[in-house]
Structure 1
């Protein structure tokens, strides 16, 4: 028998679905439940964030004597989805769980999550229609919301204007004003920064030549996609993807505008001119020792675009108190609490996508930065690529792309190999 850690996300959730199918008892209604202890898995260990969660939970418990406790259970981010799905398949599912966007199709389509839309719609003061259509798209099945998108964080570019000036280059605002806020010009400037200062040009944060789907922040500018819209066909070998990854290969190995494999550069420590990352990282600039700016993703050959990273909260159908957990989710994500959570987790509510709400949550950003970059990014951004059987696909693509990250790599040939490896999985 295989160890559970080698099972794919889809396989684990399929196991969980079989367990659910064999359960004859329905979830106990929230009104009749007693001595309930809820557990929600999360990947944050940030003390301030957990303190806010606990405060919201305490307010809920005060109004619901049937609930004795709500525990937020941090799991390591690196193994989060594997650990969660193993718990589900082993009959030890939490009551609620954070879910990464790349695992969303597995969870949404597997039956592992309890329905939540009816409860959210009926909860007084919830304002269900305020939820942004683009933000909820990934978390729906048959037009029904299966999980709540509690964090919709746009990918943006932070620029170190002091480092640009030290290299004799224009500031980020000057580049934008001159019509040079595009990937080709960013790479040229980054190359000049590296030559003049020895520091990095641009960094795709958290890519590290392993987390390949973070490169979507670049390839979307070429109009590229990893697979067809229906998910059945591989698109890695398309002309658009070949051109996008050729750009990145040249940036790393020829122009030196991007750190190569094995090299690291932390923008927030002043080690690069630009970084592509999510807006939630802005708090790291509260005590920055350099002048910085925030801009949208650079334009690519296919034009302007934006991308968001998402996380959802789902109620596990296998949990013993699914209805109570759904009721708590409605409280946890109501308008008041959504506004409180916005300081770390950009909201999915249209009424809160404004400079006033987001400025209070992100004090290091200016009103113009929020209005011009953050709000459009949340409202229109496409979600990072996701697919069922995400763990197996992710591992297969990563292994196939390893051959890309050498100076003499044949980009087109490597991408042909990616499709040969991953296409059989996509069609399943």
Structure 2
């Protein structure tokens, strides 16, 4: 869930839950290419579990059902090496016709650098332009042309067992400040639990926590902070908001908000802690809630929440539509491949995929398109009290890696907040 990749398969790669699920999509109209181009294309992805695979394969099968005579051959590539594998194939000119990729820049499978190099196909279909949400355009547009479509939107924050929390007298919702959360960590400890689980040995999990806080302390007050950093008008080390974000992580640690041994813990600590009721929540893209609930057979109810902001700071949701699909410039079926992406971003395609995978449709029309786990934040979504996932606009992968590793260093006393932020500035270049 990266950092060669900041996708679900990097931020959420640990969630290897064997969930068997199917995806049935309602019919919609879509045009089929005619003429001499082949009516068979490939669609590659890296599924973290059976539910992911069912969702991707379901998109392909639903499109086939709407377009008789068309075949989409899916390829499930190893998730841990997906970013480097697909990048090698794209650079080598033998990429799949369509494939999972990341909007933005700075990742092994980022779409915009490929667009700049002419390696992926510009998408000129009017329905794609119409359905592309304004909030995601910058992640998929280069020189005025669109080169990919988002699969859905994720909240990057906390997966939280509210029923378990309230049973021990802990109350956290979208309005709870980080200071109020920290004040309740002792109560959770007294009940033999911790408010949060942290896989502190993994830069991905540390990173999503740090960015979750910085969404409010940095990007809430200044949504253009990344642009200003690119113009050398601001720095990580000189930013009060970034300093506050990392200092807040240390405050959470000192208050016992994370489980014992958090700094050396892996992702298994989260799955084991959640399944045993030892932790109330953990940091992950919101799709994890759906996957865990389905794996538990409906016996567990989880909600998705943002990471709370410190007192005096407004909490903003971190929403990202960076997980998407693009088309190889080498495809022999450009019209058919474009039609497939047009279906993915259509209202019916988005709603059905989002329900299966647990994400949010990129074009939320009303509350009925939101899954129950988003009930507590629907007003914030409607008010657009949101920011994107900041690292999708960073120029390279090392910045996020060093942020996540730096958080571990701060918690173990091996690094200071200033040293971590200075390293991030060096990485930016």
State the TM bucket, normalised to the shorter chain.
Answer: 0.7 to 0.9
| CA spacing shift, 1:186–1:353, aligned 2, 3 Å | farther
- Report how far residue 382 of structure 1 moved: 1.6
Larger Rg: 1
Q: 1:131-142 to 2 correspondence within 5 Å? A: 131-142=132-143
Asked if 1:324 is matched to 2:336, the reply is yes
Give the Å deviation of 1:197: 3.1
For 1:265, the equivalent position in structure 2 comes to 270
Deviations 1:9-44 (A, max 9, x none): 9xxxxxxxxxxxxxxxxxxx9432344431111122
Q: CA 1:200/1:75 → structure 2, altered by over 3 Å: closer, same or farther?
A: farther
- Aligned-residue offset at 1:355: 1.5
1:402–1:154 distance in 2 versus 1, CA, 3 Å: closer
Alignment correspondent of 2:412: 406
Q: SS of the residue aligned with 2:74?
A: strand
Task: Give the Cα–Cα distance (whole angstroms) in 2 for the partners of residues 136 and 356 of structure 1.
Answer: 24
Q: CA 1:279/1:376 → structure 2, altered by over 3 Å: closer, same or farther?
A: farther
Per the TM alignment, residue 113 of structure 1 is displaced from its structure 2 partner at its CA by: 1.7
Between the aligned partners of 2:401 and 2:55, the Cα distance in structure 1 is: 31
Equivalent residue number for residue 23 of structure 1 = none
Confirm or deny that 1:334 pairs with 2:360: no
**1:171 is the counterpart of 2:177:** no
* Whole-Å separation in 2 of the counterparts to 1:303 and 1:184: 12
The residue correspondences of 1:227-246 to structure 2 (distance < 5 A) are 228-229=227-228, 231=230, 233=232, 235-237=235-237, 238-246=239-247
Counterpart among 285, 289, 292 of residue 278 in structure 1: 285
User: Following superposition of structure 1 onto structure 2, how do residues 7-406 of structure 1 map, counting pairs within 5 Å?
Assistant: 30-44=33-47, 45-46=49-50, 47-62=53-68, 65=69, 67=70, 69-101=71-103, 102=107, 103-116=110-123, 118-119=124-125, 121=126, 126=127, 128-165=129-166, 167=168, 169-172=169-172, 181-194=176-189, 196-203=190-197, 208-211=201-204, 212-214=206-208, 215-223=210-218, 228-229=227-228, 231=230, 233=232, 235-237=235-237, 238-252=239-253, 254-259=254-259, 260-263=262-265, 264-266=269-271, 268-269=274-275, 270-283=277-290, 284-286=292-294, 287=297, 289=299, 293-300=303-310, 301-310=312-321, 311-343=323-355, 344=357, 345-349=359-363, 352-358=364-370, 362=371, 364-365=372-373, 368-369=375-376, 371-372=378-379, 380-387=386-393, 390-395=396-401, 397=403, 403-406=409-412
The 1:347–1:235 alpha-carbon spacing in structure 2 relative to 1, beyond 3 Å, is same
CA distance in 2, matches of 1:271, 1:157: 16
Deviation digits for residues 107-146 of structure 1 (CA, Å, limit 9, x no counterpart): 4443322111x22x0xxxx484343211333212233322
Quote the offset at 1:293 in angstroms.
4.7
Partner SS state of residue 153, structure 2: strand
SS in 2 for 1:112: coil
Cα RMSD, aligned residues only: 3.3
Shift of 1:273: 2.0
**In 1: Cα distance, 2:56 partner to 2:382 partner:** 26
Residue 16 of structure 2 corresponds to none
Q: How far apart are residue 232 of structure 1 and its match? A: 5.3
* SS of match in other structure, 2:313: coil
Q: CA deviation at 1:280?
A: 1.9
> Which is further off, 127-136 or 182-191?
127-136
Question: How far 1:165 sits from its partner (Å)?
Answer: 4.2
SS of 1:113 mapped into structure 2: coil
SS in 1 for 2:203: coil
Structure 1: how far apart are the matches of 2:43 and 2:200? 28
In the superposition, the TM-score normalised over structure 2's length comes to 0.74
Are the aligned partners of 1:153 and 1:308 in contact in 2 as well (CA < 8 Å)? yes
Mind listing any 5+ residue stretches in structure 1 that lack a counterpart? 1-7, 10-28
* 8 A Cα contact 2:57 2:74, kept in partner: no
1:242-276 deviation per Cα after TM superposition (whole angstroms, max 9, x unaligned): 22111112322x21212421232346422312334
Classify the secondary structure of the residue corresponding to 1:302.
Answer: coil
CA contact (8 A) 1:203 1:272 kept: yes
**Displacement after TM superposition at 1:86 (Å):** 0.5
Q: What SS does structure 1 have at the residue aligned with 2:230?
A: coil
For the residues of structure 2 that align with 1:393 and 1:172, how far apart are their CA atoms?
A: 31
SS of the aligned residue for 2:263 comes to coil
Q: Structure 1 residue 305: deviation in Å?
A: 0.9
Unaligned runs of 5+ residues in structure 2 are 6-31
Q: Deviations over 1:289-327 (max 9, x none)?
A: 566555444233431211123312111113233333112
Aligned residue pairs: how many? 370
8 Å CA contact 2:97, 2:337 repeated in 1? yes
